[in-house]
Amino acid sequence: MRFLPANRVAELSPDEQAIYRQLDPARLPQHVAIIMDGNGRWAGKRSLKRFLGHQQGAESVQYVVETASRINLPWLTLYAFSLENNLRRPKTEVNFLMRLLRSYLINNVQRMNDNNVRITYIGRTHELPAEVQEKMHWAAEATAHNNGTVLTLALNYGARSELVDAVQALAREAACKNFSLEHIGEEDLRRHLYTAHMPDPDLVVRTSGEFRVSNFLLWQMAYSEIYVTERLWPDFRGIHLLEAIADYQRRERRYGGLNKLQESDEAPVPDSFLVPR
Ligand code: FPP
């Protein structure tokens, strides 16, 4: 668990504070990951071009990041651009998203620093345009000293390709260190994921009402709680992040085990129960 500086709850809006007061600060998630969906529908509902939905979506990103930093959320990961987006969206939309990302970084690094946010990335980012990579690098360097929320943007990211990359890296390591493949365990693969340095997400939020995981953090979300909201990403704000966390705190996480009450029910089971009735 990361040690973070004192939180800035006093900077939340009155509405956010009302939700925050219902939360148990000792049980805040360590890591929230968000599948930001619905930009196109948001624009369509207003008879606007899709790119305006993405532009509005970039505004939501900053609002949510700032609320996360005020409550001292250690890790926030946003699915900003998938490998599939890169391959299957029209070139004009991909180019717009790249320009938007660049201008988001240029315009928000100061606010990230004001909010003690450090930005990092996961995905096959080396395949992104050079001028985007250059700004990504610049923003990461410019915020590297911050010790509050770590904002991770998943860019040109796909979970299956992450697993392929991890397996290749592990195979190289095995060849180099001469260890046998039979001894490979979960931890060995985990060490080679893009997310090796962070905890798995406790909570995965998806906006726009779709019940899909869309090739996002497939390994890491094995035991995540999933929260789906009908709200479209451009309408999502910090208060909705707090609502998702309140919902998360009402869940019981069992990781495939039992709860305390069930554990105490240890009476032996007679063989007659094996026969279906
Ligand atoms: C889904 O909307 C969202 C995306 C394809 C990418 C998310 C991008 C942003 C939130 C804006 C830029 C982000 C940053 C970090 C600057 P969609 O187009 O799939 O929506 P639809 O399903 O309604 O068509």
208-244 residue pLDDT tens = 999 999 999 999 999 999 999 999 999 999 999 999 9
pLDDT for the residue numbered 276: 66
Position in ligand 1 atom list of the atom nearest CA 232? 23
Return the pLDDT at 230. Answer: 98
Q: pLDDT category, 122, cuts 50, 70, 90?
A: very high
- Reply yes or no on whether the pLDDT at 254 is more than 80: no
What pLDDT sits at residue 178?
Answer: 86
Residue 41 Cβ inside 6 Å of ligand 1? The answer reads: yes
Quick one: pLDDT at residue 70?
97
Could you tell me the distance, in angstroms and rounded to a whole number, from the CA of residue 46 to the centre of ligand 1?
Answer: 16
Q: What distance in angstroms lies between residue 242's CA and the mean position of ligand 1's atoms?
A: 21
What average pLDDT does this structure show over 177-200? 93
Bigger pLDDT: 141 or 181? 141
Whether the CB of 231 sits within 6 Å of ligand 1:
no
Task: Say if CB 219 and CB 190 are below 8 A apart.
Answer: yes
Mean pLDDT for all residues in the chain: 94
pLDDT tens for 137-154 read 999 999 999 999 999 999
Please indicate whether residue 51, judged by its CB atom, sits closer than 6 Å to ligand 1: no
Q: In which band, very low, low, confident or very high, does the pLDDT at 264 lie, cut at 50, 70 and 90?
A: low
The residues spanned by each domain of the chain are 29-159+200-250
- What whole-number distance in Å separates Cα of residue 199 and Cα of residue 23? 21
Q: Whose CA is nearest to atom 6 of ligand 1?
A: 80
Return the higher-pLDDT residue of 266 and 154.
154
The per-residue pLDDT for 166 is: 98
User: Residue 267 pLDDT > 80, yes or no?
Assistant: no
Mean of the pLDDT values across residues 179-183? 84
**pLDDT band at residue 55 under the 50/70/90 scheme:** very high
Q: What is the 3-state secondary structure (H, E, C) of the chain?
A: CCCCCCCCHHHCCHHHHHHHCCCCHHHCCCEEEEECCCHHHHHHHCCCCHHHHHHHHHHHHHHHHHHHHHCCCCEEEEEEEEHHHHHHCCHHHHHHHHHHHHHHHHHHHHHHHHCCCEEEEECCHHHCCHHHHHHHHHHHHHHCCCCCCEEEEEEEECHHHHHHHHHHHHHHHHHHHCCCHHHCCHHHHHCCCCCCCCCCCCEEEECCCCCCCCCCCCCHHHHCEEEECCCCHHHCCHHHHHHHHHHHHCCCCCCCCCCHHHHCCCCCCCHHHHCCC
**Distance in Å, CA 70 to ligand 1 centroid:** 24
Residue from 35, 37, 56 to probe ligand 1 pocket by mutation (most atoms less than 8 Å from CB): 37
For domain 29-159+200-250, which CATH number applies: 3.40.50.720, 3.40.50.620, 2.60.120.200, 3.40.1180.10?
3.40.1180.10
Distance 227 CA to ligand 1 centre (A): 18
Is-above-0.75 flag for pTM?
yes
How much is the average pLDDT of 7-26?
A: 95
| Residues catalogued as catalytic | 37, 85
108: nearest Cα among 136, 73, 70: 136
Per-residue pLDDT at 51 exceeds 90: yes
23 C-alpha to ligand 1 centroid (Å): 29
- Whether the CB of 234 sits within 6 Å of ligand 1: no
79 lines ligand 1 (CB under 6 A): no
Measure the CA–CA gap between 30 and 20, rounded to whole angstroms: 16
87: which 2 tokens? 């391959």
Short-list 102, 160, 110, CA closest to 135: 102
